[in-house]
């Protein structure tokens, strides 16, 4: 004698489409987001009529005052900047490194000269001075 059994319907949720959608959203937000490379300091850069956009440099120097100078997000002073630059350039060819110097419009000119000297003493010759675009001169 044969007993018939009723088959119960199998209820399974397919998670593959859900995983695909979540993966696509993650990729979208990774691509569309921007990241700030400079430390969280505010600098009022001087204006320049001939300012040009440059690519991201390998060595960034941000001068706020004599007591507050950042070298690639490392806080130092104007006197200690040369040693920090040397440690950041360790193992690299200094002549190939591109550096960007950003100093506030109210920063002393001597501070900018001291930082340029520190870069030159470490062998860095490609230095860009950051400014904000202004009105072009006639």
Largest CA distance in the chain: 105
Instruction: Give the pLDDT of residue 98.
Output: 85
Residues 6+ apart with CB under 8 A from 50: 136, 137
Distances (CA, A) of 37 to 24, 89, 104: 26, 18, 17
| CATH fit for domain 58-133, picks 3.40.50.720, 3.30.420.270, 3.40.50.10780, 1.25.40.10 | 3.30.420.270
pLDDT tens string, the chain, 138 residues long: the values are 677 777 777 778 888 899 999 999 999 988 888 765 555 666 666 776 666 665 555 788 888 888 888 988 889 998 898 999 888 888 888 778 888 888 887 888 899 899 999 988 888 888 888 777 766 655
Q: Is the dihedral of CA 113, 114, 120, 125 positive or negative?
A: negative
Instruction: Give the pLDDT of residue 20.
Output: 94
Residue 113: phi and psi, rounded to 5, are -65, -40
The encoded tokens of residue 109 equal: 């000119």
Instruction: Give the pLDDT of residue 35.
Output: 67
Q: Is the dihedral of CA 71, 73, 77, 83 positive or negative?
A: negative
How far apart CA 110 and CA 132 sit, in angstroms, is: 21
């Amino acid at each position: 004698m044969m007993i018939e059994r009723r088959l119960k319907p199998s209820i399974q949720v397919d998670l593959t489409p859900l995983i695909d959608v979540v993966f696509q959203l993650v990729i979208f937000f990774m691509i569309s987001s921007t990241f700030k490379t400079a430390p969280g300091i505010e600098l009022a850069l001087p204006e320049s009529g001939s300012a040009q956009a440059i690519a991201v440099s390998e060595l960034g120097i941000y001068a706020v005052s004599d007591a507050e100078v950042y070298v690639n997000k490392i806080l130092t002073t104007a006197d200690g900047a040369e040693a920090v630059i040397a440690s950041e350039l360790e193992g690299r060819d200094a002549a190939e490194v591109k550096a960007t110097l950003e100093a506030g419009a109210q920063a002393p000119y001597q501070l900018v000269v001291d930082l340029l000297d520190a870069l030159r003493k470490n062998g860095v010759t490609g230095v860009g001075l950051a400014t904000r675009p202004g009105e072009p001169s006639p």
